[in-house]
Amino acid sequence: MSRLSIARAGALVLALAVPPAAKADSGRPDAGALPVPPGGTREQVLLGDRIFHGEAAGGKCAECHGDDAKGTANGNDLTLGLWIWGDGSVTAIKATIGHNMKMAPGMDGRLTPADVDAVVAYVWAIGHRKD
Ligand code: HEC
């Protein structure tokens, strides 16, 4: 075994030893504490959180918008309550995501209409946090 592969094996062991709770450092909001949009449900916000972070429906949102949704070089901050497109209402967010899905099929993940409603509720919620 070369020194490099020993170092790699060490890194792998370290990565496996880190408990999932360490993910809290990513700044991912506690979805259970987020507000629920008008006409939406807590269940949608919770499912939307999982889709956003790639744990359901092949969602890819966090890859570009960040685990904390505060943006990366590839996607803007969704937490400020300031929107490039529309007024931040459920209807406007849904229209934006629908547009993106049409322009770049598969980019967002494999979202059913119910998945879209859930991730819209989640994006609304992170844009309307009180803290
Ligand atoms: C490949 C990178 C990428 C992925 C994946 C992605 N986005 Fe985006 N998203 C962007 C970029 C870049 C913009 C801003 C582009 C623009 O000006 O239209 C954007 C804009 C948005 C907006 C509009 C923001 C505003 O200010 O009006 C919303 C809402 C949004 N994304 C939600 C999502 C959701 C939800 C997902 C997953 C289902 C997702 N995005 C996946 C890159 C991405």
* Per-residue pLDDT tens over the stretch 16-33: 554 444 444 589 999 999
Task: Using alpha carbons, select from 47, 37, 43, 56 the residue that is nearest to residue 94.
Answer: 37
* Ligand 1 pocket, CB under 6 A: 59-61, 63-65, 74-76, 78, 83-85, 93, 96-97, 107-109, 119, 123
Specify the higher pLDDT residue, 21 or 69.
69
Does some domain include residue 97?
Answer: yes
Rg of the chain, C-alpha, whole Å? 17
Whether 90 is in a domain gets the answer yes
Contact 30, 114 (CB under 8 A): no
Give the span between the Cα atoms of 124 and 119, in whole angstroms: 9
Per-residue pLDDT tens digits for 77-119: 999 999 999 999 999 999 999 999 999 999 999 999 999 999 9
Ligand 1, atom 34, lies closest to the CA of 61
16 C-alpha to ligand 1 centroid (Å): 31
Is the residue at 15 inside a domain?
no
Domain count, the chain: 1
Question: Range of 84's domain?
Answer: 25-127
**Which amino acid type is present at position 7?**
A
pTM as predicted: 0.85
Domain membership flag for residue 4: no
Residue 17 domain-assigned (yes or no): no
Q: To 10 degrees, what angle do helices 42-52 and 113-127 make?
A: 90
- Is 86 among the domain residues? yes
pLDDT > 90 fraction of the chain, expressed in percent and rounded: 78
Question: Which CATH number fits the domain that encloses residue 54?
Answer: 1.10.760.10
Among 92, 84, 70, smallest CA distance to 26 is for 70
CA angle 93, 46, 89 (to 5 degrees): 20
Q: How far is the CA of 6 from the centre of ligand 1 (A)?
A: 40
DSSP state for residue 57 in the 8-state scheme: T
> Distance from the CA of 59 to the center of ligand 1, in angstroms?
12
